A and B are shown apart, each in its own frame.
Chain A
């Protein structure tokens, strides 16, 4: 949970590490929830896996990331509600996207 502060286009860049705990990885349902939540924030939010950075507001991007169970992802957000966004998204990962 090492939050490092950097800058992106002059805005504070927040980042946080999360783990994919869903047994089938980020498949359609969790990817959908993630994108849905991300769309609700003004900040730009991205997900990084093995150096590949994708838009967290795009379900297609999240799907093609093909993050399997146990993958460690970095969430990055920059913008007025960046911190808040990361808090909400982190919770989603922690709760396994509310899947059984």
Chain B
């Protein structure tokens, strides 16, 4: 289909042109449907059995490495192992191969659909949901049958990665230097793919529902991470046009980068610290290159993902100490594990929670698994001897939780002291304010900690009740909703009243439309993806604090997002027209679907 254009949600800006390659299509969409010759039927059954056997030994291997404290996780793998042995799955599939001469893939899919019908008829919603486990298991077998996990090491050149969805674990497995851009079927504005792409400095478009339908491996595609367009096998004139656009965008990016080492100080002399959010030590170069003044959020989840055994205290200490000493004397804020049902465990779904976002995650997960938590606390403390380290607990909902977390920290300190291991006894302790409950009791929480960091991604999600990766409601995810702005202001005021610092580490910190308002509120620091730092610093350097305050005052009186958006846009277009040349097209995506 030459020149076909499809579109999605742009989540990392930039324009690239290159060859597409799928790392995972949903098996349903690409399922091979063939019949096999009668003479080959038994061979096909063997192939099916081999795929089941390989999946079984793979799962058994994973199971053997799960630590005892994750008992539920083990139980779930056991369930999956039983499903692999189940005559209703393997047996029925083999029967279909023999009776209908189907190929193994199709036969298995048919056996799975049979189960879908049976599970669909069950009234009990808990049992109906177990169908997901059947899917997980059969997907594993299907990929064994396909036998073609993309081997990046063997590939020459660079590619545009297409996927049904990219989990954090998937992206860990990718060879970063071979990737030009991402496009996925799933995902919304702040999904993991976007964060990952911005971290790597490559464009990404998510929520492209037609991706699997129109794009094939090897197609030449243009990914426009500014407008969200994907053009498949473009004609010459379109190619020429996009080459020019890509060059212009490059030039703009270079221009803003040139002055990024200058401090973020407004024209009337107010200073804001601009820190970086990172997840890998390797990103430090990008932080320093882009003028980051420290690490405001180090996501510690990576060390726990895409592996079957938990990292040891020594391994974590080494990682953390390396980061602390490279950045020293600049500050590094370690966020403790923000894992839970939606990440890591969910691959097997420890709990298979109906509402993972509201379930056992982040600090809740850690308090429930104290051994795992304390291993991390000790590692962070040990790293604090090597630089300027602070610790921050995610998803705190009230006083009791922060006191519990601090009690574990105190215990870890006492242990290290007894063991004669060095650490910084005055390490700053902060919390992420990302639950509406924490906003409401911010004045009390401020008495318990040294700093706040506002996590706007979750705060907006929980305040407005929007699942940010749900494409149907993503339009409601509004950073400039009056409720969001009031929440942030309340937290900033509570922090300053108590004499502690307040930072903001969500996507909002890299949104040119939000930053002037945050400045007006008196935010002490912003923490954002390294690639966005030059642009945001430039905006701050062109700002007058008194204009920010005036704008904020006006905005805080507004009753609708619409009114706020137009006020902010007018003011911003006036002050920084150049910044917006490339970002204006993003605004179209904020409208509700018709």
Q: Interface size for chain B: under 10, 10 to 19, 20 to 34, or 35 or more residues? A: 20 to 34
A17 within 8 A of B: no
Q: Is A32 an interface residue (CB 8 A)?
A: yes
Query: Given the complex, which residues of B lie within 8 Å of A24, measured CB to CB?
Result: 126
Question: In this complex, what residue of B is CB-closest to A34?
Answer: B82
Contacts A27-B126, A66-B123: A60 and B85 contacting too (C-beta < 8 A)? no
Q: Is A21 in contact with chain B by the CB < 8 A criterion?
A: no
Say yes or no: is B89 at the interface (Cβ < 8 Å to chain A): yes
Residues of chain B within 8 A (CB-CB) of A19 are none
Shortest Cβ distance from B562 into chain A, in angstroms?
A: 47
Nearest A residue to B124 by beta-carbon distance?
Answer: A66
- Which residues on B sit within 8 Å (CB–CB) of A61? 86, 88
Q: Which B111-157 residues have a C-beta within 8 angstroms of A?
A: 115, 118-119, 121-124, 126-127, 130, 133-134
User: In the assembled complex, which residues on chain A have CB atoms less than 8 Å from the CB atom of B130?
Assistant: 28, 63
Interface of B is mostly: helix
CB <8 Å contact, B126 and A59 = no
Q: Is B78 an interface residue (CB 8 A)?
A: yes
List the B side residues contacting A55 at CB < 8 Å.
87-88
Check B83 for interface membership: any CB of A closer than 8 A. Answer: yes
CB distance from B217 to the nearest CB of A (A): 34
Q: Which residues of A contact B126 (CB under 8 A)?
A: 24, 27
Interface assignment of A57: CB less than 8 Å from any CB of chain B: yes
Pick from B82, B122, B124: contact of A59, CB under 8 Å:
B82
Cα distance, A66 to B78, chains bound together (Å): 20
Assess the A63–B127 pair: CB atoms within 8 A.
Answer: yes
Q: Which residues of A contact B123 (CB under 8 A)?
A: 66
B309 in the interface (beta carbon within 8 A): no
Q: Are A32 and B88 in contact (CB under 8 A)?
A: no
The verdict on B581 contacting chain A, using a C-beta distance below 8 Å, is no
Cα-based distance from A64 to B120 in the complex (angstroms): 9
Task: Give which listed residue, B78, B83, B121, contacts A60 with CB less than 8 A.
Answer: B83
CA distance A61 to B111 in the complex (A): 13
Q: A58–B76 Cα gap in the complex (Å)?
A: 16
Which listed residue, A29, A36, A68, touches B124 by the CB 8 Å rule? A68
A63 to B83 alpha-carbon distance, docked (Å): 11
Most chain-A Cβ atoms within 10 A of its Cβ — which of B83, B121, B127?
B127
Chain A residue nearest to B89 in the complex (CB): A60
Interface flag for A92 (CB, 8 Å): no
Whole-angstrom distance between the Cβ of B405 and the nearest chain A Cβ: 27
Q: For B76, B86, B115, B121, which residue has the most chain A Cβ atoms within 10 angstroms?
A: B86
- The answer to whether the Cβ of B79 comes within 8 Å of any Cβ in the partner chain is yes
Given contacts A60-B115, A64-B118, A64-B119, contact A25 B124 (CB under 8 A): yes
Known: A60-B83, A63-B127. A32 touches B118 (CB 8 A): no
Is A20 in the interface zone, CB < 8 Å from B? Answer: no
Please tell me if A13 contacts chain B, counting CB pairs below 8 Å.
Answer: no
Please report the total number of A residues contacting B with Cβ < 8 Å: 19
Cβ contact within 8 Å between B127 and A27 = yes
Beyond A55-B88, A58-B86, is A32–B75 a contact (Cβ under 8 Å)? yes
Closest to A59 in B: B82
Distance from A23 Cβ to chain B, minimum over Cβ atoms (Å): 12
A35 touches B (CB below 8 Å): yes
| Contact A39–B79 (Cβ < 8 Å) | no
Contacts of B79 in A (CB 8 A): 28-29, 32, 59
Residues of chain A from 57 to 84 with CB closer than 8 A to chain B in the complex: 57-61, 63-64, 66, 68
| Minimal Cβ-Cβ distance residue in A for B119 | A64
With a CB–CB cut-off of 8 A, which chain A residues contact B133? 28
Cβ contacts under 8 Å, B89 to chain A: 60
Q: Kindly state the separation between the CA atoms of A62 and B277 in the bound complex, as whole angstroms.
A: 48
Interface residues of B in 74-98 (CB under 8 A from A): 75-76, 78-79, 82-83, 85-89
The residues of A that contact B118 with a CB separation of less than 8 Å are: 60, 64
Please, which residues of chain B bring their CB within 8 A of the CB of A39?
82, 85
List A residues 77-99 near B (Cβ within 8 Å).
none
Query: Please, what's the 1-or-0 string for B432-458, where 1 marks a CB less than 8 Å from any CB in chain A?
Result: 000000000000000000000000000
B83 touches A66 (CB 8 A): no
Task: Find the B residue at minimum CB distance from A29.
Answer: B75
- Residue pair A64, B122 in contact (C-beta under 8 Å): yes
CB pair A58 B88 closer than 8 Å:
yes
Contact between B87 and A58, CB atoms less than 8 A apart: yes
User: Closest Cβ of chain B: how far from A27's Cβ, in Å?
Assistant: 6
What are the interface flags for A1-31 relative to B under an 8 Å C-beta threshold, 1 for contact and 0 otherwise?
0000000000000000000000011011100
Q: Which residues of B contact A60 (CB under 8 A)?
A: 83, 86, 88-89, 115, 118, 134
List of A residues within 8 angstroms of B86 by Cβ: 35, 57-61
8 A-B pairs besides A29-B75, A32-B82, A57-B87 with CB distance below 8 A are A25-B124, A27-B127, A28-B130, A57-B86, A58-B88, A60-B118, A64-B119, A64-B122
Residues of A within 8 A of B (CB): 24-25, 27-29, 32, 35-36, 39, 55, 57-61, 63-64, 66, 68
20 intermolecular pairs with C-beta atoms under 8 Å apart: A24-B126, A25-B124, A27-B127, A28-B75, A28-B76, A28-B133, A32-B75, A35-B82, A36-B82, A55-B87, A57-B86, A58-B88, A60-B86, A63-B122, A63-B127, A63-B130, A64-B119, A66-B123, A66-B124, A66-B127
Q: Which 10 A-B pairs have the closest CB atoms?
A: A59-B82, A64-B118, A60-B88, A66-B122, A58-B88, A58-B86, A32-B79, A66-B124, A60-B86, A66-B127
